[in-house]
Amino acid sequence: MRRLFKTDYMQDINLWRQQGAKFWYGLLVAAVLAIPAFAGEFYIGELAGLFIFAVAGVGLMLLTGYTGLVSLGHAAFLGIGGYTEAILLQRGVPFAVSLPAAAVVTGLAGVAIGLPTLRMSGLYLAIATLAFGSIIGTVLQKWDSLTGGFDGLPVKAPTLLGVDLSGPLGVYYMSFAVLLFVIFLVLNILRSPLGRALVAIRDSEVSAQSMGIHLAYYKTVAFGLSAAITGLAGALFAHYVRHLAPDAFDILLSIQLVTIVFVGGLGSLHGAIFGAMFMRLLPQAIALVRDDLPNWLGRMPGLEPSIFGLILVLCIMFEPMGINGRWRKLKAWFNEFPLHKASAFRRQKSYAKSERLR
């Protein structure tokens, strides 16, 4: 059993809560940096894809997991980020400028969708963002002169300080660096007044407001930041696929992103990473075992979506905290080892909430 002894307020503010964490996360980063030395090109590519989806997952987690606003249109932000990156590179803008520019443009698009939907929440917001997603999808298809329409848009190789980053190795390190950056950014948000304001809006709008939190401002900021982070993922995605096609950014991609945050575990950054791992590794796992399954099952059309759907339903029914919830329970079990209480994570019954004021 381990108990943390706190002697300084900074201990609750620092990124590292304990010395052990620094060591283990450092080891993880070192391992990720070293993987390309012995892994094949295919696996490097797959891992880069995982990092890109983790970036997008972190972006959506900020909005859905921490602010409590559901978005079914996040594929559009991925698309805006990707196309902005491709178009800017095509016009000769250097990569060091185009990547932040993609984030800024997508962030502004996020503010643009955030403002008209300020008074919406839950299902209504989901529908509004869904509509926004399909509008952007149509724009990407029809605006031939800018996006190349159905022919798509080739993405120029990114170069940074004279180094070509277009190969799988370049995309791998680039995506990992961006992932570390956005995790750092969101951790900063969460430990400052901004992050607490977002959580307050998620948990109770009426008391957030009476504590002096300007709902409209913070919801718009949440949309903007979430979109900007997702736009970064989109720019990386453009380099990952090397040729953008408008039909990549459809409702299915949006639902995949929502699945990442739900299966990973709402309201945790670990959850976004776990969710991305689940989302990217499950198809590979299915492909691996497919040949060993009986023919009627292994060759069944739609096997993959059904398994995704089944896991999403099981997850919502039995583990609403997602993979991260499981992970925390496992950690608590080891932490408390001989004294573990089965009831520690039992959900309390919720008390009556006061009548909604609007």
Partner 1 sequence: MNLFHVEDIGIRFGGIRAVEGVSFAVKRGEVFSIIGPNGAGKTTIFNLISRIYNPTTGRLFFEGQDITTIAPHRIAGLGIARTFQNIELFPNATLLQNLLIGRHCHAKVGLFAQLAFLPSVARAEVEHRKRAEEVIAFLGLQRHRDSLIANLPYGIRKVVELGRALCTEPKLLLLDEPSSGLNVEETVEMAFWIEDIKKDLGITVIMVEHDMKLVSAVSDRVMALNYGRILAMGTSAEVQSDPEVIRAYIGGEA
Binding site for partner 1 (CB under 8 A): 9-10, 12-13, 185, 188-189, 191-194, 196-197, 199-200, 202-204, 206-215, 221, 267, 347-348, 350-354, 357
Nearer to partner 1, 188 or 306 (CB): 188
Nearer to partner 1, 214 or 243 (CB): 214
What is the chain's Cα-based Rg? Answer: 21
Distance CA 94, CA 102 (A): 12
Nearer to partner 1, 139 or 213 (CB): 213
- Which amino acid is present at 54? A
- Residue 100 CB, shortest distance to partner 1, in Å, is 13
Alpha helices by DSSP H, the chain: 10-13, 19-34, 41-60, 74-90, 95-114, 122-142, 144-147, 168-190, 193-203, 205-210, 215-241, 251-264, 269-290, 295-298, 303-318, 322-335
Nearer to partner 1, 138 or 188 (CB): 188
- Residue 239 CB, shortest distance to partner 1, in Å, is 24
- Residue 320 CB, shortest distance to partner 1, in Å, is 12
Distance CA 234, CA 218 (A): 24
- Residue 304 CB, shortest distance to partner 1, in Å, is 33
The residue written with tokens 């004294």 in the block is 339
Nearer to partner 1, 143 or 181 (CB): 181
Nearer to partner 1, 199 or 241 (CB): 199
- Residue 117 CB, shortest distance to partner 1, in Å, is 19
With contact defined as beta carbons under 8 Å apart, do 275 and 57 qualify? yes
- Residue 300 CB, shortest distance to partner 1, in Å, is 40
With contact defined as beta carbons under 8 Å apart, do 216 and 205 qualify? no
Q: Give the CA-trace dihedral at 140, 142, 147, 153, to 10 degrees.
A: 90
